[in-house]
Amino acid sequence: MGRQRGIFVAILGPDGAGKSTLARGLLEAAPPWCASVQYQHVRPRLFGRRDEPDAHPHAHGRPGRFRTICKLGYLWLDCGFGYLLVTRPALARGTLCVSDRCFHDLLVDPLRYRCAPLRLLPRLLARLLPLPDLLLVLDAPQATVLARKVELAPAEVERQRTAYRALASALPCGRVLDAAQPAETVLDEAVHCIAGLLAARTTGERTRLPASSDDRAARATTRALRGAILHGGLRRVRAPRPRR
């Protein structure tokens, strides 16, 4: 298949956190970064049937166990084979692949997918799927989320916030962004994370997400990377050494 040159970014967070806005911003800002862009909502839809937005994702009652197992299997097969047949070839071509939610979202909000909250099976299936290169969790105070989109009860919003943050901490590709900031600032921090990944690949260092966009060395890496991409590609980029 060849060495991966693109980046697979998944975005998670409660409704109202700004996932669609960030995804749109990344796709619009992509030309300087990658050869092309590709968007998906949750899964590649290899088996068809587009997932339409649900204004009341928790209003359908609790699904049965058998239906849940069937739905989990369907989503897992679509995500797994979709990655092999759609996402991975796109990454090999240098594509920025952006996913608004992904299979791991089931671990936090199974009812959204008409699944009962099983404990072990979703975690096992998630472990068998390739992780995205970068999993961005958008987190904002409960009042901010509810002011943007009133779809969930306040207690459920708070539960999801806690669960999403825990998921980001448990995964090596996880990064929590403060979604209470202006959309432009959130986008800049997401681009900063992508720049860190690209710089690490270029220098042959172990991939490490920048701790903060306020870090001086990380900001310097981002500036150098942006300039190099605009003037001849990634191959000659070197990350600036941190000042002692």
Q: Collapsing DSSP states into helix, strand and coil, what is residue 141?
A: coil
CA distance 172 to 23: 21
Closest CA to 99 of 124, 134, 128, 138: 134
CA distance 114 to 59: 10
CA distance 29 to 122: 33
Q: Residues of the chain with pLDDT > 70: what percent?
A: 74
Each residue's pLDDT tens digit, 145-189: 999 987 789 999 999 999 999 999 999 999 999 999 999 999 999
Q: Per the domain annotation, does 235 fall within a domain?
A: no
Q: Per the domain annotation, does 236 fall within a domain?
A: no
What pTM was computed for the model? Answer: 0.80
| pLDDT range class, residue 3, cuts 50, 70, 90 | low
The pLDDT assigned to 179 comes to 97
Q: Which domain holds residue 83?
A: 7-230
Question: The CATH number of the domain where 64 resides is what?
Answer: 3.40.50.300
Q: Per the domain annotation, does 244 fall within a domain?
A: no
Tell me the longest C-alpha to C-alpha distance in the chain: 59
**What residue ranges in the chain does DSSP mark as E strands?**
7-12, 36-41, 95-100, 134-139, 174-178
Q: Per the domain annotation, does 239 fall within a domain?
A: no
Q: Collapsing DSSP states into helix, strand and coil, what is residue 160?
A: helix
Q: Per the domain annotation, does 2 fall within a domain?
A: no
Tell me if 132 sits within 8 A of 99, measured CB to CB: yes
Q: For the chain, how many structural domains are there in total?
A: 1
